Structure 1
Amino acid sequence: MKHLLGGLLAVVLGLTSSASTAASAADADARFRAIYSQEWAWRTGQSGISSSGETQPGEGRLDTVDAASQQARLDKWKQVLRQLDDVDVSALSPGARVNYAVYRAQIANLLAAQQFKTWQMPFNSDSSFWGDIGYELHGDQLRNAADYQRYLDRLGQIPAYFDQQIANMREGLERGFSVPRAVLDGRDVSIAAVAQLVDPTESSFYAPFKHLPDSFSQDQVQSLQGEALRRVRDDVIPAYQRLLDFFRNEYVPRARTTLAAEALPDGKAFYRQQIREYTTLDLDPQAVHQVGLEQVAKIHAQMLQTMQETGFKGSFPAFLHFLRTDPQFYAKTPDELLMRTAWVAKRVDGQLGKFFGRLPRQRFAIVPVPADIAPYYTSGRGGADAYLVNTYDLASRPLYNMPALTLHESAPGHALQLALAAEQRGQPAFRRDSYISAYGEGWGLYSEYLGNEMGIYSTPYERFGYLTYQMWRAARLVVDTGIHHDGWTRQQAIDYLTQNTALSDREIANEVDRYISWPGQALSYEIGYLKILELRRKAEQALGDKFDLRAFHDTVLQLGSVPLPVLEQRIDRFIADGGPEPDFGDCPPSKAPN
């Protein structure tokens, strides 16, 4: 009887302890939830806030980027970080601990950006506040009269928004914090495209009003079109004219003549923070440089072998020249490039079920890059709903690169990953609506690697295109750290990519300018890819015959964008649990072909 009573007492005490632990976790989770819920609600009411280069939701507002609002953000995120430091992480539930790790890194990066005053340099050679503004206004999401009126109100905010950005850039110029002069030539083309318009109705800002819904009355149509004409003529075009005058006559002449991030005020700390933000790891620039050199040597040997498989008899430089100049490798028309791209995407579609247990509901379109930004835009860029393909200067868009580019930017790369992340039901908004480059770009590069297993690279030239893209990302580790830490010139960076990749001259020049003006971002691709590949190898070795590639991929994608240490912890648990398929909630499962 004593043994029985003792056993019952132990059970009761155990249940009590479990209940107490659960209650404690619930309390800790609630306190943490209150912190991020309040901050996220505040954040999404702001404009001009970004994390890992990606703009956060802001209701399309364009009116609050002045120095006072920047100071308010600095103060806010300092307060939030103090609140997070007071959270007992050990008391959080397992799911909340993951959320905490993601959120704390996010806040730390947002705070660091304010401390370094990156808002004083609100553009780079890849993107700009004046070029991205159409996307921020959400002009493609207008459905009723209220939507159109809000759009008009936002057009009216552009003058003040631009004036604040100009004031911020002036402050940056005063302290030597600017985009380097070496990459500014031609960057005013997209400003001039609006500033020099004669007919306001030809502006992209007016475009949503050319074809209004049939449900609108004639009076509504005339009123909205008249107001749109006035807004574009009296607000938007003059704002772009002021910006163009400032850019040409003040910013370009006063921009810094150095290239390195480490040459900026407090530059060494700034570049180290850029590396931390974009790789999610605390890495020394020289160590990153060395990893790049090792990967470049490894991939170069693979490129030589693939070159031999093509039957080419000359040297490696001669082969690169052949690839860059022979007409057989280039589309004759923009439509041909788009159709060849679409063919690759459909071939990938036929393979996805073999590699993924869950596929998103959303589908993506393939569209050309807008003409006003195409000359300085990258070859392609993918999102959940669109894969942008650059059809400008077809002689710089080799067809042998299109399979790798398409795998990266559409499916199974960004389009698939971002769509699945958006469909997650159990994650807070700060995770669903955020993007971490090391994870997202690492996954994109890993998707190129999967093209080998999917059978997408059907010729030696396409396999060489895959390798040149692999080389491109490995070389970025060398070039980015070379420029920002070792003092490389722009020409040194161009020469390095020219000698090691089959990218066209235009692509190389655009990419180098991007690395110069966007320190650290280029490191995220290779670092993230190497970590995902490392974790796959680790799981394969640990699980042996129990390893399921579809379950591994689903586990990686279920997380959404997370820092690499968080991803590694999740895969360690995947291994410890024997490699089970994750629960995606109500995302639809795919069916593997027989």
Structure 2
Amino acid sequence: MGMSHRIAKLLAGATLLWAPVAALDARAPSRTTAKPAQGADARFRALSEAEYRWRIDQNAADEDSGSAGSRQLPDVGPAAQAARLARWEATAKALATIDPQGLSPDVRIDYMVYRGQIDALLAAQRFRDYEKPLNADTSFWGNLAGWARGSFTRESQYRDYIAMLRALPRYFDQQIGNMQAGLARGFTPPRVTLKGRDIGVAQVVDAGTGEDQPFYAPFRTMPANMAPATVAALRAEAMAAIRDGVIPAHRKLLNFLRNDYMPKAQISTAAYDLPDGKAYYRSKIREYVTADMTPEQVHAIGLSEMQRIRGRMDAVMKEVKFQGDFAAFLTFLRTDPQFYAKTPQELLDWAAWFAKSFDGVASDWFGRLPRSRFAIKPVPADLAPFYTAGRGGTGIYLVNTYNLPSRALYALPALTLHESAPGHAFQMPLAAENKALPAFRRDSYLSAYGEGWALYCEALGEDMGLYKTPYERFGMLSYQAWRAARLVVDTGIHAMGWSREKAQAYLHDNTALSDHEIETEVDRYIAWPGQALSYYMGQLAFQRARAKAETALGPKFNIRAWHDAMLQLGYVPLPVIEARTDRFIAEGGKGPYPEEE
């Protein structure tokens, strides 16, 4: 999973229904050769650009903000939520007056992408998702931790940060109010997934006003060229804001979580049991799969893919001449010390080695490489116990070094290809650097595309020869099975009456994931309905499109050119992947960049 679990639940989106795929002309010219926008194009541009600027202004600081981006905490109170609903309803109404067939081919794709975002944002607003601002993976208070880990270089950045600290009590009060409203109507994460979610809040309270306070971190080391008087004044202002606002706000939130929210959260793990739960879960399938599918259809695809992958896993087991059944092989992989790092640094070192191994073959598989580089760092200690094995994005690949016996080295190559390069830390900066695209295609993370690409990259590692042992290949297959199993488990939990224990057992019996990872993963699916479906459905779209191009073009197929064509898209719904591939075929396999010609 990429670092997409930010307020992007506000920014990102997918379409409610991507039926008009035929409207995409596979023979359309590239964006650089398209005719200038005319009447309908201009109307759409004015509408989308104005709304997107407004939408960005609604954004908050989060774990990806670092030292750039918005320096404000949004208004999330009732009046602001009503204003968002009204704005997106008006936008949807205006979009309905624009005929996509009257748009130029490139703008027609922009229209489809944008319409999907508005549909998803509007659905989330109508279901009042803002009344549940946390899940087993992320929370509104945890998202602010990214600012505390930020690195500032200018006085203005420090002052913006202090302003955020002063606004934090108001923001927390609004979020608590939203959570109280959700609690009153039974719209909360399942109680079982909230265990331990108060740890990060308690750590802020317990740290007090000393220099160990997490929110004081940017002030411990300040630029050497800053005037001493300015440094002293900024530090004093920050400490006052922490003492008078940040700590009391966290103490209030902690009391609310422990005494009201966590004990009274819903017991059921199924989205179907939420208010209007069946419609809510279907909206999440549409959002995260970018297609209008039933839970039963998704479930069936998962079962079929699991059977196919299991056949390949059995073949690897025979290749290494393991004496025993599949369950015994999984036990061997989960318990043999040879497969596990002894220290956190050893795990980080192996991750760096695998990331660098891709660099050695990158130019053979990709024509356009991102300018952005990425760092490899451990997951922060307060998040690690319930965090995923890794997380990647622009400039960062986080590796979870907590509970080393659950972090198998044979799975690390697949994880690294997914989270670093050519996965999230490769695709995300390429999208951001593509200034030919409108901002809502560069910056608004679309899970089906982004996660589908990253999972495709895991399988691509086999083509690239990066899995050096049968065990590493099995690790990749186990990860593939894990994502295919999500189609089974997510729909099973939320629509088919599966218990938490049944979901855990399914992953235990069909993947090599450790029991700790299985527990944290299942709780994530329980608390975040539908999101887990995006990975494998997205990968299938990329694999089908590539196979289509390879068959149609034969010896003319150029994998570098096709990869570049896919990565040039920014974030798009899955049908656009096939449509862009059709154009790629029609143009004889020509890539989007001159150096490929």
- TM-score band (shorter)? over 0.9
Q: Identity of paired residues, percent?
A: 55
1:124 aligned residue (135, 159, 168): 135
Residues 491-536 of structure 1: CA deviation (Å, up to 9, x unaligned): 0000000000110011000000000000000000000001110011
1:303 aligned residue (307, 313, 319): 313
CA contact (8 A) 1:63 1:157 kept: no
Deviation, structure 1 residue 91: 2.0
CA contact (8 A) 2:376 2:397 kept: yes
Determine if the alignment matches structure 1 residue 288 to structure 2 residue 288. Answer: no
Change (3 A) 1:74 1:200: farther
Deviation, structure 1 residue 583: 3.3
Determine if the alignment matches structure 1 residue 202 to structure 2 residue 212. Answer: yes
Residues 107-127 of structure 1: CA deviation (Å, up to 9, x unaligned): 111111000000000000011
Deviation, structure 1 residue 60: 3.1
Deviation, structure 1 residue 49: 11
Deviation, structure 1 residue 23: 9.2
Aligned to 2:326: 316
* Equivalent position amino acid for 1:463 in 2: R
Mapped to 2, the partners of 1:212 and 1:191 lie a distance apart of 26
Determine if the alignment matches structure 1 residue 578 to structure 2 residue 570. Answer: no
Deviation, structure 1 residue 63: 4.0
Aligned to 1:513: 523
Mapped to 2, the partners of 1:151 and 1:198 lie a distance apart of 19
Residue ranges of structure 1 left out of the alignment (5+ in a row)? 1-21
* Equivalent position amino acid for 2:56 in 1: T
CA contact (8 A) 2:73 2:171 kept: yes
2:56 aligned residue (35, 44, 47): 44
Mapped to 2, the partners of 1:280 and 1:318 lie a distance apart of 38
Aligned to 1:542: 552
Change (3 A) 1:167 1:590: farther
Change (3 A) 1:48 1:81: farther
Mapped to 2, the partners of 1:148 and 1:158 lie a distance apart of 15
Residues 207-259 of structure 1: CA deviation (Å, up to 9, x unaligned): 11111111211111111111111111111111111111000000012111111
Residues 321-344 of structure 1: CA deviation (Å, up to 9, x unaligned): 111111111000011001111111
Aligned to 1:35: 47
Q: Residue 223 of structure 1: SS of its match in structure 2? A: helix
CA contact (8 A) 2:417 2:461 kept: yes
CA contact (8 A) 2:61 2:72 kept: no
TM-score (norm: length of structure 2): 0.92
Change (3 A) 1:368 1:590: farther
TM-score (norm: length of structure 1): 0.92
Mapped to 2, the partners of 1:27 and 1:516 lie a distance apart of 46
Change (3 A) 1:25 1:364: closer
Change (3 A) 1:211 1:322: same
Deviation, structure 1 residue 346: 0.9
Q: Residue 478 of structure 2: SS of its match in structure 1? A: helix
1:381 aligned residue (350, 372, 391): 391
Residue ranges of structure 2 left out of the alignment (5+ in a row)? 1-33
CA contact (8 A) 2:561 2:596 kept: no
Mapped to 2, the partners of 1:310 and 1:318 lie a distance apart of 14
Aligned to 2:467: 457
Change (3 A) 1:384 1:110: same
Aligned to 1:16: none
Deviation, structure 1 residue 58: 7.0
Residues 34-83 of structure 1: CA deviation (Å, up to 9, x unaligned): 10111112111113599xx9999971321401111111100000001111
Deviation, structure 1 residue 31: 1.0
Deviation, structure 1 residue 142: 2.0
CA contact (8 A) 2:61 2:143 kept: no
Mapped to 1, the partners of 2:354 and 2:69 lie a distance apart of 35
Mapped to 2, the partners of 1:138 and 1:525 lie a distance apart of 30
CA contact (8 A) 1:410 1:416 kept: yes
2:105 aligned residue (87, 94, 98): 94
Mapped to 2, the partners of 1:138 and 1:103 lie a distance apart of 33
Deviation, structure 1 residue 87: 1.2
CA contact (8 A) 1:359 1:590 kept: no
CA contact (8 A) 2:60 2:71 kept: no
CA-based RMSD: 2.0
Mapped to 2, the partners of 1:507 and 1:457 lie a distance apart of 22
Residues 131-151 of structure 1: CA deviation (Å, up to 9, x unaligned): 11133x476252211111111
- Larger Rg, first or second structure (1 or 2): 1
Change (3 A) 1:184 1:175: same
Greater CA drift, 107-116 or 560-569: 560-569
Determine if the alignment matches structure 1 residue 347 to structure 2 residue 388. Answer: no
* Equivalent position amino acid for 1:35 in 2: L
CA contact (8 A) 1:356 1:590 kept: no
2:235 aligned residue (225, 244, 254): 225
Aligned to 1:372: 382
Mapped to 2, the partners of 1:347 and 1:110 lie a distance apart of 39
Aligned to 2:438: 428
Mapped to 1, the partners of 2:586 and 2:356 lie a distance apart of 36
Determine if the alignment matches structure 1 residue 402 to structure 2 residue 412. Answer: yes
Residues 88-118 of structure 1: CA deviation (Å, up to 9, x unaligned): 3222111111111111100111111000000
Aligned to 1:73: 84
Residues 419-438 of structure 1: CA deviation (Å, up to 9, x unaligned): 11011011111111111111
Deviation, structure 1 residue 402: 0.2
Q: Residue 434 of structure 1: SS of its match in structure 2? A: coil
CA contact (8 A) 2:271 2:277 kept: yes
Aligned to 2:283: 273
**Which gives a bigger RCO, structure 1 or 2 (Cα 8 Å, sep 6+)?**
2
Q: Residue 131 of structure 1: SS of its match in structure 2? A: helix
* Equivalent position amino acid for 1:64 in 2: D
Alignment of 1:485-496 (within 5 A): 485-496=495-506
Q: Residue 397 of structure 2: SS of its match in structure 1? A: strand
* Equivalent position amino acid for 1:43 in 2: R
CA contact (8 A) 2:446 2:572 kept: yes
Mapped to 1, the partners of 2:491 and 2:210 lie a distance apart of 44
Mapped to 2, the partners of 1:382 and 1:203 lie a distance apart of 26
Aligned to 1:62: 73
Mapped to 1, the partners of 2:72 and 2:499 lie a distance apart of 39
CA contact (8 A) 1:139 1:151 kept: no
Mapped to 2, the partners of 1:75 and 1:413 lie a distance apart of 37
Deviation, structure 1 residue 408: 0.5
Mapped to 2, the partners of 1:116 and 1:126 lie a distance apart of 20
Residues 183-207 of structure 1: CA deviation (Å, up to 9, x unaligned): 1111111111112223442122111
Change (3 A) 1:125 1:501: same
Residues 544-577 of structure 1: CA deviation (Å, up to 9, x unaligned): 1111111111110000110011222111111111
* Equivalent position amino acid for 1:351 in 2: V
CA contact (8 A) 2:389 2:399 kept: yes
Mapped to 1, the partners of 2:215 and 2:65 lie a distance apart of 20
CA contact (8 A) 1:47 1:58 kept: no
Q: Residue 545 of structure 1: SS of its match in structure 2? A: helix
Mapped to 2, the partners of 1:341 and 1:211 lie a distance apart of 28
Deviation, structure 1 residue 176: 0.7
Mapped to 2, the partners of 1:397 and 1:248 lie a distance apart of 31
Determine if the alignment matches structure 1 residue 172 to structure 2 residue 214. Answer: no
Aligned to 2:24: none
Q: Residue 196 of structure 1: SS of its match in structure 2? A: helix
